[in-house]
Amino acid sequence: MFKSTNVQEDLHVIASLQRDLNLASAALLLTGQITIIGVFVTPGEFSVSLSGPLFGRTRLEGKYGNLFATTMIDIIDVLIAVLLIIDEIRVVSSVVGPSRFSINVSGPIFGAPKYEPTLPVLKKSFHFFRKIVSRHFEVDPIIFRNS
């Protein structure tokens, strides 16, 4: 996986993947497949959690069919999509739960730093992930053979 000798090329591929995730998330927001479901507040920053029918959750709407609340949720979704498109925020994490999935977005506009990919951190994370997954789940060793 990380055998290329051209570090800049590897970083470009990673940045392109991150950009594609942001644009795909924006498209899902604009088409109503995902919506804001929550906000995580930490000291000095916050992130927005997104999920919806595509990820195993119901679409968030105004309580008791309140049209104004539903419209406000749609406006927030469009604003989040625009921030993703102009690269002010990025997909920063994913959360997997029983029969559901969500992604979190954040960035400098929400008080969080804009993380740039670095290969040493990615290599360390990859090896940690591989170790944990291999220990706790039955994974065909062929999957990890070339990494």
Residues 69 and 124 in one domain: no
Cβ pair 46, 111 in contact under 8 A: yes
Residues 31 and 64 in one domain: yes
pLDDT at 39 (0 to 100): 92
Structure tokens, 30: 């604009």
List of long-range contacts for 111-119, beta carbons under 8 Å, 24+ apart = 111/44, 111/45, 111/46, 112/45, 112/46, 112/47, 114/90, 115/90, 116/15, 117/11, 117/14, 117/15, 117/18, 118/11, 119/2, 119/7, 119/10, 119/11
pLDDT at 2 (0 to 100): 47
Q: Is the pLDDT of residue 89 over 90?
A: yes
Q: Is 50 among the domain residues?
A: yes
Range of the domain at 91: 7-114
Residues 84 and 138 in one domain: no
Residues 20 and 70 in one domain: yes
> Would you give the DSSP letter of residue 89?
S
Of residues 59 and 46, more confidence is placed in 46
pLDDT band at 23 (very low <50, low <70, confident <90, very high): very high
Task: Kindly state the helix (H) or strand (E) to which residue 48 belongs, with its residue range.
Answer: strand 45-51
Residues 45 and 25 in one domain: yes
Q: What is the pTM of this model?
A: 0.73
Arithmetic mean of pLDDT over the chain = 83
Dihedrals φ, ψ of 48, to 5°?
-110, 130
